[in-house]
């Protein structure tokens, strides 16, 4: 039996810089759950073009909303070739009836509890349309099966996961819908063994919040210290309030963390389930974390209902005051299944059902206090200003201020600056598309669109 596992790109042919590529993990987990006698091939379309001329018995495709169109396209290609196709991931979990129109089977939710049954059903020619398993106990499943020909990122960075689930349930986020609101853990001993077997000393921990369960996090960090590894991950900004955990985090080898700052608007922050409710608290937390030697990489979202056009300059001013050398800037994206999607849909504010535009950079809804065009232009303005050549030069001293000075980390963050500059060009090409939407989305068309999802 020949099995193909695919991670598609929403823009095939558009390569991702090796410095910022997220290592494969989900498909490696599936591979670990597959019987040893199955011939497995893994293809990541962000790395290289998918060779559709090859033949496979079973094809599994992991699907996010932004990659749904491409996933469906690939599914149809392989089905025409005679393969059976399985779709899984966040988007098929939220919209299984849509996904199954393009596949022979759909995995709803996490696959650990049902993948072995699915493979067995395929072999016995009794594949069902839908597979759903209870929330898996992470202590019962093997480590990801690595070494399947997937290129690693710069500095041999390997993907790693220690927890799943998030209790915050932000209205714009799908994590709770997919993984649940309770944080589940892999036993620390399993994480340590996975690290040792990987053959790497550099890791990207893919947890949604590495500090979400302080007791577990401290145990994990203490266990990582003797391993002398380096890692980056994602955390809630509340990490700054727990000095013991923050100190252990740094000792464990943490070089940088991605933080969901979300907004610099006090009105927007007040409506979120965030531990910090003021910009002053946020700026102090940035200082505390960076003083520990951990680089702070913020994620900021534009387009909340409380945002006016002042938010664009306010965002640049915040980044300037904190002297942050990198940031991830996103447009609010109402992913299907989230509360913000349901609210916007009920209000007739969703203006596109083209999933390929649900990518953090395209405006697919009508903002409350500006037009879609103004939000798109404001997003482009902040991105291009922050990552202009003159700004990148100003960021270089900040790359070297985190102590101890780490030239390798500084190089990665410098590459992130040039990647951010390339994103600005991509946003610019979407402005015509946003303008065209304004022309054809009349109020009558919006009424017809309601109910198409």
Provide the token pair at 125.
Answer: 């020619």
pLDDT tens figures, 128-184: 999 998 888 888 888 888 776 555 555 568 889 999 988 777 888 888 778 887 889
Residue 448 has what pLDDT?
35
Residue whose entry in the numeric block shows the structure tokens 């649940």: 180
Q: Count how many Cα atoms sit within 13 Å of the Cα of residue 154 in the half-sphere of its side chain.
A: 14
Which residue in the block uniquely carries the two structure tokens 């670990």? Answer: 32
Q: pLDDT tens across 87-106, in order?
A: 999 999 999 999 999 999 99
Instruction: At 271, give phi and psi (nearest 5°).
Output: -90, 0
- Start-to-end Cα distance in the chain: 36
In sequence order, what are the residues at sequence separation of 6 or more whose Cβ sits closer than 8 angstroms to the Cβ of residue 261? 237, 282, 298, 299, 300
Among 256-265, 282-291, 419-428, where is mean pLDDT lowest?
Answer: 419-428
- Rounded Cα distance between 212 and 195, Å, is 21
Kindly state the tokens that stand for 120: 């067995």
Q: Dihedral of the CA atoms 314, 315, 319, 321 (nearest 10)?
A: 10
pTM, 2 dp = 0.87
Q: Tokens 């810089």 appear where?
A: 17
Of the candidate ranges 183-192, 230-239, 377-386, 438-447, the one whose mean pLDDT is the lowest: 438-447
pLDDT of residue 316: 95
Q: What is the DSSP string of 232-301?
A: EEEE-GGGGG-HHHHHHHHHTTEEEEEEEEE-S-HHHHHTS--S--SHHHHHHHHHHHHHTT-EEEEEEE
Q: Who has greater pLDDT, 21 or 256?
A: 256
The yes-or-no verdict on residue 21 having pLDDT over 90 is no
| Residue ranges per structural domain of the chain | 2-138, 140-437
**Alpha-carbon span 39 to 329, nearest angstrom:** 40
Q: In the Cβ-directed half-sphere of 276, how many Cα atoms lie within 13 Å?
A: 22
* pLDDT 10s digits, 365-387: 999 999 999 999 999 999 999 99
Is 140-437 a CATH 1.10.1040.10 domain?
no
The pLDDT assigned to 415 comes to 80
250, HSE (Cβ side, Cα atoms, 13 Å): 19
Alpha-carbon distance of 319 to 381, in angstroms, equals 14
Mean pLDDT of 196-203: 90
- To which CATH superfamily is domain 2-138 assigned? Cobalamin-binding domain (3.40.50.280)
The pLDDT-based confidence of 315 (bands split at 50, 70, 90) is very high
Cβ burial, residue 211 (10 Å; 0-12/13-18/19+): buried
What average pLDDT is seen over the chain? 86
Q: Which of 105-109's residues contact partners 24+ apart within 8 Å by CB, and which partners?
A: 105/129, 105/130, 105/131, 106/130, 106/131, 107/131, 107/132, 108/132, 109/133, 109/135, 109/178
């Amino acid at each position: 039996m020949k099995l193909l596992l695919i991670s598609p790109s929403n823009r095939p042919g558009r390569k991702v810089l090796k410095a910022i590529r997220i290592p494969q993990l989900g498909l490696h987990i599936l591979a670990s759950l597959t019987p040893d006698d199955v011939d497995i091939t893994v293809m990541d379309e962000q790395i290289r073009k998918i060779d559709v001329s090859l033949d496979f018995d079973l094809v599994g495709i992991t699907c996010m909303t932004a990659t749904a169109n491409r996933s469906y396209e690939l599914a149809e290609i392989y089905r025409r070739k005679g393969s059976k196709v399985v779709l899984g991931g966040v988007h098929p979990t939220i919209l299984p009836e849509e996904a199954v129109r393009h596949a022979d089977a759909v995995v709803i939710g996490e696959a650990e509890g049902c993948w072995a049954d699915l493979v067995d059903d395929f072999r016995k020619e009794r594949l069902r349309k839908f597979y759903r398993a209870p929330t898996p106990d992470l202590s019962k499943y093997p480590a990801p099966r690595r070494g399947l020909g997937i290129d690693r990122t710069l500095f041999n960075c390997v993907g790693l996961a220690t927890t799943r689930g998030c209790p915050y349930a932000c209205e714009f986020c799908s994590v709770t819908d997919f993984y649940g609101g309770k944080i589940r853990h892999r036993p620390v001993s399993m994480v340590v063994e996975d690290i040792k077997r990987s053959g790497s000393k550099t890791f990207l921990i893919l947890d949604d919040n590495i500090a979400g369960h302080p007791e577990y996090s401290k145990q994990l960090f203490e266990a990582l210290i003797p391993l002398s590894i380096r890692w980056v991950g994602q955390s809630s900004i509340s990490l700054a309030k727990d000095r013991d955990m923050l100190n252990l985090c740094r000792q464990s080898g943490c070089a940088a963390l991605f933080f969901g700052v979300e907004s610099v608007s006090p009105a927007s922050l007040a409506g979120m389930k965030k531990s910090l409710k003021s910009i002053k608290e946020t700026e102090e937390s940035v200082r505390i974390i960076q003083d520990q030697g951990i680089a702070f990489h913020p994620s900021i979202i534009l387009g909340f209902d409380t945002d006016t056009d002042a938010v664009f300059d306010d965002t640049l001013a915040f980044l300037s005051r904190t002297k942050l050398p990198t940031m991830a800037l996103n447009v609010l994206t109402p992913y299907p299944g989230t509360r913000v999607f349901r609210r916007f849909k009920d209000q007739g504010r969703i203006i596109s059902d083209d999933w390929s535009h649900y990518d953090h950079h395209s405006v697919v809804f009508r903002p409350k206090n500006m037009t879609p065009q103004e939000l798109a232009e404001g997003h482009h303005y902040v991105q291009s200003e922050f990552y202009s050549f003159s700004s990148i030069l100003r960021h270089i001293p900040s790359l070297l201020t985190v102590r101890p000075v780490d030239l390798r980390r500084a190089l990665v963050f410098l590459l992130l600056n040039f990647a951010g500059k390339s994103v600005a060009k991509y946003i610019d090409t979407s402005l015509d598309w946003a303008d065209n939407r304004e022309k054809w989305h009349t109020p009558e068309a919006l009424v017809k669109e309601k109910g198409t999802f």
